[in-house]
């Protein structure tokens, strides 16, 4: 690797780690910690599956395509992030830095990318494609889910950013297919 690229990568890693530590410090406040633990828990899938069920209850047959679209895009997201995690094997920040406190139980061993963020972006973009009025609640929730990951010591900010970008990419591809 050329020296300039190595220097750039070291600087990027330093900034990413510093931001992660800074985000995580906010979790020392019990109210902040509990709020983001609850937000993160919603991102485990509970909220998204409930939203799909609610859409089916309210909009019945009209919701079949949106819910199927969300489910298929979500499945592609799961396969993609699991493949990326297996290829990159990036340790979670709490395993690397002693100053980072783990504030929630990780779903798996590796950090890159953030599956919670990836799925939140996919489900939000697909849902608001069919139901634009949901953007008022889903966009802020998606942002909070992304923020929860470094605050709880589970991900670096770059994991969240890449998770969001992959989620956008999968959503855009799904719109061209479905």
For 58, 62, 79, 133, the CA distances from 17, given in Å and listed in that order, are 44, 45, 27, 37
Report how far residue 7's alpha carbon sits from residue 1's, in angstroms, rounded to the nearest whole number.
Answer: 10
Q: How would DSSP label each residue in 91-116? A: BPHHHH-TTPPP-S--SSSB-SS-HH
Report how far residue 155's alpha carbon sits from residue 91's, in angstroms, rounded to the nearest whole number.
Answer: 9
110 bridge partner residues:
91
Report how far residue 166's alpha carbon sits from residue 123's, in angstroms, rounded to the nearest whole number.
Answer: 12
Name the percent of the chain in helix, strand, coil, to the closest 5: 80, 0, 15
User: What is the pTM assigned to this prediction?
Assistant: 0.92
Mean pLDDT over 42-65 rounds to 94
For residue 153, the model assigns a pLDDT of 94
The dihedral over CA atoms of 92, 97, 100, 102, expressed in degrees to the nearest 10, equals: 40
Which tens digits make up the pLDDT trace of 133-168? 999 999 999 999 999 999 999 999 999 999 999 999
Backbone φ and ψ of 91, nearest 5° = -70, 150
């Amino acid at each position: 690797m050329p020296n300039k690229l190595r220097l750039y990568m070291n600087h990027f890693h330093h900034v990413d780690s510093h931001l992660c530590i800074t985000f995580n410090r906010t979790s020392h406040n019990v109210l902040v910690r509990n709020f983001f633990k609850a937000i993160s828990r919603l991102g485990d899938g509970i909220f998204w599956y409930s939203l799909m069920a609610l859409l089916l209850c309210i909009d019945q047959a009209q919701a079949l395509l949106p819910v199927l679209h969300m489910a298929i895009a979500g499945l592609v997201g799961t396969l993609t992030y699991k493949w990326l995690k297996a290829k990159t094997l990036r340790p979670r920040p709490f395993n690397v830095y002693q100053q980072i406190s783990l504030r929630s139980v990780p779903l798996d061993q590796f950090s890159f990318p953030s599956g919670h963020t990836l799925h939140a972006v996919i489900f939000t973009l697909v849902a608001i494609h069919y139901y634009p009025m949901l953007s008022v609640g889903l966009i802020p929730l998606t942002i909070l889910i992304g923020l929860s990951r470094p605050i709880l010591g589970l991900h670096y900010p770059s994991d969240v950013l890449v998770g969001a970008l992959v989620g956008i990419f999968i959503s855009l591809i799904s719109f061209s297919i479905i």
